[in-house]
Amino acid sequence: MKGTSVRTLVALSAAMVLLVGACGGQPATTGGSASPAAKPFIPMISKGFQHQFWQAVRQGAEKAAAQYNVTITFEGPENESQVDKQIEMLQAAINKKPSALAFAALDSKAAIPLLQKLKDQNIPVIGFDSGVDSDIPVATAATDNIAAAAAAADKMATLIGGSGDVAIVAHDQTSRTGIDRVKGFTDQIKNKYPNIKLVATQYGGGDQLKSTDITKAILQSNPNLKGIFGANEGSAIGVLNGVKESGKTGKVVVIGYDSGQQQMDAIRSGAEAGAITQDPIGIGFKSVEAAWKVLNKQSVPKNIDTGFHWYDKTNIDAPDIAALLYK
């Protein structure tokens, strides 16, 4: 009996060694495991943190991470002009050997060499909000910004009576959102409204103070200006401030993009005619969901359209719109 007990203990010890060895390997690259160490790791590199929009995207991403049992991180540079800082963050994320990576590009070209490194390592890239000029991302969860900006142009045309001078204050000329929103608005005006003239397109980096100064300069140079389109949250707030400081509130039609407390207050007061809202929570959720699906060998569409809506003081409190707005 004693010999049998010894042999039994040896066998049990060997089994434990094998079990511990199996648990000590690399984390799994597919979702659904109950073990915390086996959760897929998906870093998310956003365009910035200065606007509440990005916090809403993060909220959606965290909801998806909990639902799909993955680990995410969410970070971005202090402002949306820091392309070099974003590239540094991307490199740091790559160094952590993630299971997949989600990326919202400040510059649609600058990150391509690093994204190629991920592709070479068979690490899937998911774009969100603002894609890159490459087919490296397996999917991109974003608003159709050309269509959304075209809808803003249609609203502008209606509100100014189909004729007059208008301007754009946008965030940048390098990200896909900056490029596409300017293109969507500009092309729609040129193609559909021959009596409307686009007299200025200026870029403020999404910075409220810079966009305020740009707006004041545009108004000073164009005293008969009828309307201004602010192409993201920071731009729109800068337009509102510039219009107010120029004594033009109520005299110049302001159309914005996204939301935030200041835009929502301005829409309710009539200082801003309305804005295009995206679905930032949906963008964050869909990007993490797409990464999980790819890791689990499920198909995803190349372009995941997360939708947009026009809102003004007539529907800002409607349940389907209010759910998309953030303060």
Residues 240-290: pLDDT tens digits? Answer: 999 999 999 999 999 999 999 999 999 999 999 999 999 999 999 999 999
Round to whole Å and give the CA distance between 308 and 318: 15
Superfamily of domain 38-143+280-307: Response regulator (3.40.50.2300)
For the chain, where are the E strands, in sequence order?
A: 41-45, 71-75, 101-103, 125-128, 139-142, 164-170, 196-203, 225-230, 253-257, 274-277, 303-305, 309-311
Domain layout of the chain by residue ranges = 38-143+280-307, 145-277
pLDDT for res 15:
39
pTM for this prediction: 0.85
User: What's CA 201's distance to the chain center, in Å?
Assistant: 22
Beta partners for 56? none
Query: Between 233 and 38, where is the model more confident?
Result: 233
Residue range 145-277 in CATH 3.40.50.2300: yes
Rg (C-alpha) for the chain, rounded Å, is 24
Residues 143-173: pLDDT tens digits? Answer: 999 999 999 999 999 999 999 999 999 999 9
